[in-house]
Chains A and B, each alone.
Chain A
Amino acid sequence: MKIVVASGKGGTGKTMVAVNLAWALSQSQEIHLIDCDAEEPNVHLFYPGGKDEGPVTVKVPEVDSEKCTLCGACGEFCRYGAISVLTESVMFQAHLCHSCGGCMLSCPVDAITEVPRRIGMITRSEPSPTLTVISGILDEGEIAAPAVIKAAKEAGEWDGVSVLDGPPGTACPVIETMEGADVCILVTESTPSGLADLRRAAHLAEALGIPSGVVINRSDKEDGPTLAFCEEEGLPVLLTIPFDREIAAIQNRGAILCSEKEEWKEAFAQLYEDTIAITGDIS
């Protein structure tokens, strides 16, 4: 069972929901918590000390200058401008490369081979016997977040329940995270811009065929438009977390709400039950 926690934009408290959900579940079963926000991983702030599980690499071309005739074919093929044939050398700009392998195929003299290039890493920690935390971390300056997310998902793959903290937004990294998920929890705030972001995220989940429900965070009790939208779209509201000084203070300390407040532990356990219910899975 893969549960993705997502939101149309950053800063809605998505990681807080993912971390608390995983913590609450880990009180009664084994859980994998996978941080898929590779560009700005935050889960490790709650669970520091992850062990390096090795690099994530992508394949990039390497030109053998002995064999290369500077014919220009590779550069003409590459639509990303990552490889350019210049007067005396072939220039490769790694940050533009999409690892499509096309330049290698286009070279008439087989001067190009593929070599691995590191773009990020995977870390793993076991903060409790029932909780495994896996983070996919994209290196500074790199852009291929989906490759790191895929590797993090593979590292956390198992038969039990996984909670995936997704990247914000609705672009490729989110799609990679949602791929293969059973259900999606969309975290939102009750503001007009929050609603616009929720709408985009909800439509993405729908397009990918993933059932979803909504968590309203930092609610000011004026959730009318959000509730109306959920009603209209048939999205169940799974949990409403009020805007509250005490909750904010716990968060600011980097602590886990559920571990300090019995009522929230129960609320998040219930969130899980209600989330599972959306998938139609009774187990």
Chain B
Amino acid sequence: MKVCITSKGDSPESVPENRFGRTPFFVVYDDETGNVIEAINNSSANDASGVGPKVVQMLVSKGVNVVITGQVGGNANKGLEVAGIPTYAFGEAKTVADAYAAYKAGTLTRIV
């Protein structure tokens, strides 16, 4: 299972990013080992339109299974729903690693 977290930077120490489609990075964890396997640079972040669905397609192609973020817009929401990717809000987490730990602890609220 791949769990990805929207992030302002490319490491587990980075601050999680509230925006889903326009996040600068996605930090991807392998759920089995608990290790970070990848930080994806979001190439759609500055596109004029349709950012949410484009990002969903990209995550699907990377085999992401779970998303943790702040907020999801309507168009991306639809994509995540159809793609069957459960999505959680990181809430109070101060770092990407905190958000991942909270997800593992089962304390995050599911938003999609």
Is there contact, CB below 8 Å, between B61 and A72? yes
Q: Which residue from A75, A85, A87, A96 sits with its C-beta under 8 Å from B49?
A: A96
Q: Which residue from A78, A79, A81 sits with its C-beta under 8 Å from B52?
A: A81
Is there contact, CB below 8 Å, between B47 and A79? yes
The bracket for how many chain A residues form the interface is 10 to 19
Residues of B within 8 A of A78 (CB): 50, 54
- Also in contact, A81 and B82, with CB within 8 A (given A72-B61, A86-B60, A96-B49): no
How far apart are the CA atoms of A75 and B56 in the complex, in Å?
A: 10
- Also in contact, A79 and B49, with CB within 8 A (given A72-B61, A85-B57): yes
Is there contact, CB below 8 Å, between A84 and B49? no
7 A-B pairs with least C-beta separation: A81-B50, A81-B53, A86-B83, A80-B50, A84-B53, A84-B57, A75-B57
Instruction: Confirm or deny: A148 has a beta carbon within 8 angstroms of a beta carbon on chain B.
Output: no
Interface residues of B (CB under 8 A from A): 47-54, 56-57, 60-61, 75, 78-79, 82-84
| Majority-rule SS of B interface residues | helix
| Majority-rule SS of A interface residues | loop
How far apart are the CA atoms of A75 and B60 in the complex, in Å?
A: 12
Residues of A within 8 A of B54 (CB): 75, 78, 81, 84
Q: Which residue from A76, A80, A84 sits with its C-beta under 8 Å from B56?
A: A84
Interface residues of A (CB under 8 A from B): 72, 75-76, 78-87, 89, 91, 93, 96
Residues of A within 8 A of B56 (CB): 84, 86
The closest CB in chain B to the CB of A76 belongs to B57
How far apart are the CA atoms of A86 and B79 in the complex, in Å?
A: 8
How far apart are the CA atoms of A85 and B62 in the complex, in Å?
A: 12
The closest CB in chain B to the CB of A95 belongs to B75
Q: 30 A-B Cβ contacts within 8 A?
A: A72-B57, A72-B61, A75-B54, A75-B57, A78-B54, A79-B48, A79-B50, A81-B49, A81-B50, A81-B52, A81-B54, A81-B75, A82-B53, A84-B56, A84-B57, A84-B60, A85-B57, A85-B60, A85-B61, A86-B57, A86-B79, A87-B84, A89-B82, A91-B78, A91-B79, A91-B83, A93-B75, A93-B78, A96-B53, A96-B75
